[in-house]
Structure 1
């Protein structure tokens, strides 16, 4: 999907009028509670602060009930905050009704009108705003071309595929030229092949238009693939925000390490700490030394977790004995996933470990349940975390 020159020119004009160095969206200390039928309260947002830059694709990632959809709804105006501020271009909009906010939302169910044509669905908000009919026709045609549906304007919604319906929902949300587009799990109903295709097209569209996208998902792969930055929410709190690579390789706490990707977490104790690095001892007696940049400044005796990603495991050989961690065990289960084997290995000291080994890796034979194996995690792949559950 490529934007027309007119749409791009319009977007560039809006960017020039706004301060390009200031965030388009600022969420400051957002708080929201909901009452339950039992008379209790659920904390949906607990002092959450997030900024969104211009032309940024920011994803809100977290498990069900973490607060990500609530945060989207308070930005859109469908929920009121109990405390905090929401600013768009430095203007506090927390008390503005939804229809006055310069944002639009694409919902998980698309919420299209089945009795209207594709063109009338896209034009709906402009018709309500009583925009000149000639301007409506021009902008609707522009948007349908933008999302690859030129020539589909007279079709009914039930004559479209799931992917085409998703594009109509996007066109309808974008035709009003919002400053921010909010997307509430809009790809969840699509099959994997179409979902992967729409991920690529959404990201290309966002970059072409220069509109800030705030995208909600519980799918970590989707978040890492599409986003400039990812905000991980859990227990109503912002656990960590950063580039996908940062969250994956340097999670701030155990919650993020467990939710973003798969991980092996080993309890350990700090036995030495100095400007050059830290030394750790695992419960099985293994010791490992890591550079200071690997983790936080920690006191001797501190209890930590040492994170090792499954894909960083390699069969232990005489060539990789220097540093890192080594584990002996027996394979419990094997999953062949094309280029890799995912294996679960039972160890006496640490229970079940996860490893992802390239197909053809020298294991002596094709991995199989019951096979003895020794794994090595190089020191450069290990990451230190404080030993506490975030938000508890």
Structure 2
């Protein structure tokens, strides 16, 4: 989908966003008389047919953002546009969006078909058209022939499909999904992730998906918006957030990370030199937007899977050694926790099983690790920031 959007943009110019959130502000009063800033100057746009995920820890503002788009909350300041129309003040039932909730909110006293048809009945759509669209939608979500069943006769995955069908049958411009897979077991959750993404491609509707599960966000999304403390920390394609996070918050939240305190020792036109406290130095290419100066305190990010058990003779990067504290065998690789004197926190490494390790490392064993320079990413700020 990203490739198709890129081709369309090249031929016709960038597509107009179907949803624009501009400088959204939202505060809540607490029972103690204090104030919580749920959204702090958040601006996000969603392209047509895009799967955008709002990712962040509990209390970061992602569900609040979904609720202000759907009309269940009002902004204190800012604007929301759908298809360039300002929808501020428009009640939820008059907005061209539908929401799939975490609890599904299905009607237990109604059949599957009546649940799906509910919004069409409220809108007084003709019965023949309602039956046609309900039948079409049940087939699309894999529930053809289930129309007369009651909700309590369905599995969790089937109930989730009913909730999807009910939200989609009214043909919204945007589908909002508030952690709809969180109640499912791991295997069913993985299956529903694939089905949901395939459904979004088939329908061509923009999805805005809320989750705190980083793997789920990286797997399903065209782009991910990371929220923290009510602010938009970074937005971009999954690989961009993972490989080149914009700050420490994103580096720590999206995937596992090793962060090494360093100082900028030299800044050139194309490269920066960084020095660790133990004297190791590494030269990295300057990336767009980096404004480091000599003497700046930074952190170098290395992902656990970038660790190598032994460096080549001419390999550039960072070397560490220390005792193995913990070993976790996960089938294709070993996840290690290693104590070192050079790092501020224990190192995390992921090494392939069966490659140069025999039966695998043992707790207490000394091990040497190397992180190639090409896999390091500098971030502004000192350790603990």
* TM-score category of the 2 structures, normalised to the smaller one: over 0.9
* CA distance in structure 1 between the aligned counterparts of 2:85 and 2:14, rounded to whole angstroms: 15
Residue 364 of structure 1, CA deviation: 6.2
Name 2:8's counterpart in structure 1: none
Residue 363 of structure 1, CA deviation: 3.5
Structure 1 stretches (4+) deviating beyond 6 angstroms? none
* CA distance in structure 2 between the aligned counterparts of 1:321 and 1:43, rounded to whole angstroms: 51
Residue 276 of structure 1, CA deviation: 2.0
- Of 103, 112, 119, the match for 1:125: 119
Q: How does 1:192-211 map to 2 (within 5 A)?
A: 192-211=186-205
Q: Report the CA distance shift for 1:295/1:362 in structure 2 as closer, same or farther (over 3 A).
A: farther
Q: How does 1:243-392 map to 2 (within 5 A)?
A: 243-293=237-287, 296-317=290-311, 319-350=312-343, 351-363=345-357, 366-387=360-381
- Of 223, 235, 249, the match for 1:241: 235
Residue 98 of structure 1, CA deviation: 0.3
Q: Partner of 1:60: helix, strand, or coil? A: strand
Q: Partner of 1:332: helix, strand, or coil? A: strand
* CA distance in structure 2 between the aligned counterparts of 1:240 and 1:33, rounded to whole angstroms: 21
* CA distance in structure 2 between the aligned counterparts of 1:320 and 1:30, rounded to whole angstroms: 53
**Unmatched 5+ residue regions in structure 1?**
1-18
- Of 173, 179, 183, the match for 1:179: 173
Number of residue pairs the alignment of both structures matches: 372
* CA distance in structure 1 between the aligned counterparts of 2:148 and 2:300, rounded to whole angstroms: 59
Q: Normalising to structure 2: TM-score of the pair? A: 0.94
Residue 349 of structure 1, CA deviation: 2.2
Name 1:32's counterpart in structure 2: 26
Name 1:51's counterpart in structure 2: 45
* CA distance in structure 1 between the aligned counterparts of 2:362 and 2:36, rounded to whole angstroms: 46
Name 2:103's counterpart in structure 1: 109
Moved more, 105-114 or 275-284: 275-284
- Of 131, 150, 153, the match for 2:147: 153
Residue 24 of structure 1, CA deviation: 0.2
1:295-333 superposed Cα distances (whole Å, 9 cap, x missing partner): 71310001100000000001124x255210000100000
* CA distance in structure 2 between the aligned counterparts of 1:54 and 1:147, rounded to whole angstroms: 21
Aligned CA RMSD, in angstroms, stands at: 1.5
Residue 334 of structure 1, CA deviation: 0.2
Residue 225 of structure 1 pairs with residue 198 of structure 2: no
The answer to whether the 8 Å contact 2:334/2:360 transfers is no
Q: Partner of 2:148: helix, strand, or coil? A: coil
Residue 389 of structure 1, CA deviation: 8.7
* CA distance in structure 2 between the aligned counterparts of 1:51 and 1:148, rounded to whole angstroms: 31
The answer to whether the 8 Å contact 2:226/2:232 transfers is yes
The answer to whether the 8 Å contact 2:308/2:369 transfers is yes
**Unmatched 5+ residue regions in structure 2?**
1-12
Residue 216 of structure 1, CA deviation: 0.1
Q: Report the CA distance shift for 1:389/1:165 in structure 2 as closer, same or farther (over 3 A).
A: farther
Residue 270 of structure 1, CA deviation: 0.2
- Of 175, 180, 189, the match for 2:183: 189
- Of 159, 162, 180, the match for 1:168: 162
The answer to whether the 8 Å contact 1:334/1:344 transfers is yes
* CA distance in structure 1 between the aligned counterparts of 2:292 and 2:27, rounded to whole angstroms: 35
Q: Partner of 1:347: helix, strand, or coil? A: coil
The answer to whether the 8 Å contact 1:294/1:383 transfers is no
Name 2:36's counterpart in structure 1: 42
Q: Normalising to structure 1: TM-score of the pair? A: 0.93
Q: Partner of 1:299: helix, strand, or coil? A: coil
The answer to whether the 8 Å contact 2:64/2:73 transfers is yes
